[in-house]
Amino acid sequence: MAPKSKPTIIDVARVAGVSVTTVSRVLNGGKYVSPDKLAAVQEAFDKLDYQPNLHARSLAGERAYLIGLLFDDPRGDYLSGMQRGTLLAGQKADYHVLVELLGRTGTLAQMKRLISRVRLSGVILTPPVCDHTSLLNTLVRHHIPAVRISPSSDFPGIPSVKIDDYAAATEMTRHLITLGHRKIGFIIGDPEHADARERQRAFNDALAKAGLEAKPEWVAEGGYQFSGGLTAARKILSQPDRPTAIFASNDDMAAAVIAVADEMGLRVPADLSVSGFDDTSLASAVSPALTTIRQPVEQMAMKAVEILLERISGEKPETETPVMMGTKFVRRGSTGPAPQ
Amino acid sequence: MAPKSKPTIIDVARVAGVSVTTVSRVLNGGKYVSPDKLAAVQEAFDKLDYQPNLHARSLAGERAYLIGLLFDDPRGDYLSGMQRGTLLAGQKADYHVLVELLGRTGTLAQMKRLISRVRLSGVILTPPVCDHTSLLNTLVRHHIPAVRISPSSDFPGIPSVKIDDYAAATEMTRHLITLGHRKIGFIIGDPEHADARERQRAFNDALAKAGLEAKPEWVAEGGYQFSGGLTAARKILSQPDRPTAIFASNDDMAAAVIAVADEMGLRVPADLSVSGFDDTSLASAVSPALTTIRQPVEQMAMKAVEILLERISGEKPETETPVMMGTKFVRRGSTGPAPQ
DNA sequence: CTGTTAGCGCTTTCAG
DNA sequence: CTGAAAGCGCTAACAG
């Protein structure tokens, strides 16, 4: 039961009765290898329980079988969902995942260090680092394949995966209107992010289309945070003429709206309907549970990895247009008919 | 601005006017190197913006400057807190972190594969994989340093970091008793986990010490999940003689208690006090916010990495007893005086 | 299709 | 204290 020293490609070659080159070929797709040798090699793999050494491969070749997952701060369901997706998809393709925290400052230097220390096959960029322009440029300059998830800006040459924020927010706004609400408030996320702006634009457009007014007093900014949502909700709900529904740009802020309603003695949804966005675990943990938009975060990340692997292997023409993933409207208890 | 090919140790040696061996020595601690050469090498490092290649180091040496973070499922604040801690501490020591998902089945095989593919300097084990005995044995057999976070079982030879669940749960129970509650319910987490059992033991002991009865009808199991908490809360609160306070073993289940109270028309904390454990972000997002126990998850992970690095470098005598981290009682709105 | 042979960039004996 | 040289395990030309 001693950890007999790991078999190397040489052992496999010997056992299979072929050269290391052939073994290497099998390892890398089995092209240009005769069926019988291929079988012999695979048999040797099994027999020896062989696993190629990642570092040796990286050092010798140009690929590293390592994908980098870059975060600014992997907090919250949204980001950990991305990680799960990346891990799952990476695992399926036999890639390992290196997670790296890129601080708010010195990001570029950190990236450069990372690049020269580790040979990454490619990287997945989560928000907000996916919008760090000089970082993106560095990646391009070093020919490191990358895919961006939910980017705010355009960046030619690097594919991305996102959802249709406009359509989703339109659907939510319509839902509220359909319930009879005429006075609807809105809490913006972080206006730095394109998604936040898109959601608001959809909100405004849907209101206009229904002939409703979007009162500025009913709109506030919450920065996508619970605490910001608290402030925003208080501001909106302390108006003499307050809305009967509030659409918060994410679940955290929607939860904050509920908290404020609670402290003001407003019943949700009887007196005030509240809706969120994302469908994080918080959405169903709050009472009442939030009507929200489910974002397929995990699948987005999986898709991103898929695209990344295509880029790495050099297949497929470059997809310049972002891949759009579908969202799902989720109706729960926090929204109801407008009060009389 | 072209990505000039990265400088290697040879370049550094040439620029510094020394041999690669000397450069390597500097890289590895600078022992047995004269001050002037050391300075020259360091100057060359800066000048060339040199970064040692991880794969080459791993291949040549036995260390990999890579620590493995093993998860069963990195969901939730608790686990992502561990990741943040690991990343932060790893970063500080110039280590990179490879995150690996070890499925519920085939765990051991996955671990073995990982070990033979990647040369990990050491691994951090999060619950529940930290209790996978054969996995631990494999690690030991391969001489891979490891540290366990919040393990349930004992395992000689592998250090661990945990909190004092008993003390924390005692404090919470006393808090409830001090508020005047005499009828207190309890929701157990996953009895497979030692922490869940410890929290319950503390609860029972504290009750007994105060001369209070722990009615079996007031105790239920929630598996540490929101959904389980829902069921448990309904069971407890549907008793004809129901408790005036419920201590849930974690925040998710406590949130579920609030949800159930809500649907039954019970006001929290006026009619029912609710307390949780962990102080995840959920604790402050529900209304009312949860009185809970703050677990220093991030710090625990940082401590774990610290210990791991000591093990890797072979310093320090082996610490067999688990390192205990302090918790903090956090009073919020979900608990209040017992109703008359 | 197949094998030979250089390295990839670093650590590590082993002699000075 | 210092350096020369032998690999670590694998890939990638380059010849057959």
| Chain B residues 155-214 with CB within 8 Å of chain A | none
Mean confidence (pLDDT) of chain B: 94
pLDDT of residue A60: 92
Q: With contacts defined as CB-CB under 8 Å, which chain B residues touch A263?
A: 287
Q: Residues with Cβ < 8 Å from A339, sequence gap 6 or more?
A: A244, A270, A271
CA–centroid distance for A54 within its chain: 27
A62 touches strand D (CB under 7 A): yes
The string of pLDDT tens digits covering residues A156-202 is 999 999 999 999 999 999 999 999 999 999 999 999 999 999 999 99
| pLDDT tops 80 at residue A7 | yes
**Across the interface, do B80 and A76 touch by the CB < 8 Å criterion?**
yes
Indicate the pLDDT class of residue A1, thresholds 50, 70 and 90: very low
Q: For A61-75, A279-293, A311-325, B106-120, which range has the lowest pLDDT when averaged over its residues?
A: A311-325
A64 in contact with chain B, both atoms CB, cutoff 8 A: yes
Name the nt closest to B34 by C-alpha to C1'. Answer: D1
Q: How many CB atoms lie within 10 A of CB B2?
A: 5
Measure in Å the smallest separation between the Cα of B254 and chain A Cα atoms.
Answer: 10
* B153-174 confidence digits (pLDDT tens): 999 999 999 999 999 999 999 9
Say whether pLDDT at B28 is over 70. Answer: yes
pLDDT digits (tens, 9 = 90+) for A97-108: 999 999 888 899
* Residue whose token pair is 């949502």: A229
Instruction: Please indicate whether, in this complex, the C-beta atoms of A97 and B99 are within 8 angstroms of each other.
Output: yes
Q: Using pLDDT thresholds of 50, 70 and 90, give the confidence band for residue A61.
A: confident
Query: Between residues 269 and 298 of chain B, which touch chain A (CB distance below 8 Å)?
Result: 281-282, 284-289
Q: What pLDDT, in 10s, does the model give residues A100-141?
A: 999 888 899 999 999 999 999 999 999 999 999 999 999 999
Percentage with pLDDT > 70 across chain A = 98
pTM, two decimal places: 0.95
Cβ distance of A96 and B117 shorter than 8 Å: yes
B235 — pLDDT class (breaks 50, 70, 90): very high
How do residues B300-319 score in pLDDT, each as one tens digit?
999 999 999 999 987 766 77
Q: Give me the pLDDT at residue A316, please.
A: 67
The pLDDT score that the predictor gives to residue A87 is 97
pLDDT confidence tier of residue B103, bands split at 50, 70 and 90:
confident
Nearest nucleotide (CA of B62 to C1'): C11
pLDDT in tens, B258-274: 999 999 999 999 999 99
**Shortest alpha-carbon distance between residue A38 and chain B (Å):** 21
Q: Please report the pLDDT score of residue B317 as a whole number.
A: 66
B333/A contact by beta carbon, under 8 A: no
D9 C1': nearest CA residue: A56
* B325 Ramachandran zone, left/alpha/beta (phi>0; psi -120 to 50): beta
Confidence of residue A3 (pLDDT cuts 50, 70, 90): low
Q: How far is the CA of A1 from the C1' of D3 (A)?
A: 40
pLDDT at A326 over 50: yes
Predicted pLDDT at B6: 87
User: Which chain B residues have a beta carbon less than 8 Å from that of A99?
Assistant: 69, 83, 87, 97-99
Indicate yes or no: strand D within 7 A of the C-beta of B20. yes
Instruction: Please tell me the predicted confidence (pLDDT) of residue B84.
Output: 96
Using the structure, give the distance in angstroms from the CA atom of A10 to the C1' atom of C5, rounded to a whole number: 15
Asked whether residue B31 carries a pLDDT value surpassing 90, the answer given is: no
Please give the pLDDT value at position B65: 92
Q: What is the mean pLDDT of residues B131-159?
A: 94
What's the pLDDT score for residue B262?
94
Helix (H), strand (E), coil (C) string for chain A: CCCCCCCCHHHHHHHHCCCHHHHHHHHCCCCCCCHHHHHHHHHHHHHHCCCCCHHHHHHHCCCCCEEEEEECCCCHHHHHHHHHHHHHHHHHCCCEEEEEECCCCCHHHHHHHHHHHCCCCEEEECCCHHHCHHHHHHHHHCCCCEEEECCCCCCCCCCEEEECHHHHHHHHHHHHHHCCCCCEEEEECCCCCHHHHHHHHHHHHHHHHCCCCCCHHHEEECCCCHHHHHHHHHHHHCCCCCCCEEEECCHHHHHHHHHHHHHCCCCCCCCCEEECCECCHHHHHCCCCCEEEECCHHHHHHHHHHHHHHHHHCCCCCCCCCEEECCEEECCCCCCCCCC
How many other CB atoms are there within 10 angstroms of residue A284's CB atom? 22
pLDDT at A249 exceeding the cut of 70: yes
Q: Nearest Cβ partner of A117 from B53, B99, B288?
A: B53
Of B53, B80, B113, which has the smallest distance from its Cβ to A80's Cβ?
A: B80
Residue bearing the bigger pLDDT, B74 or A86: A86
Q: What is the pLDDT of residue B1?
A: 45
Average pLDDT of the segment spanning B240-247: 97
Which of B51, B55, B80 is closest, CB to CB, to A113? Answer: B51
> What is the mean predicted confidence (pLDDT) over A30-41?
89
Protein-proximal positions, strand C, CB < 7 A: 1-13
Closest to A274 (Cα-Cα) out of A236, A241, A238, A240: A236
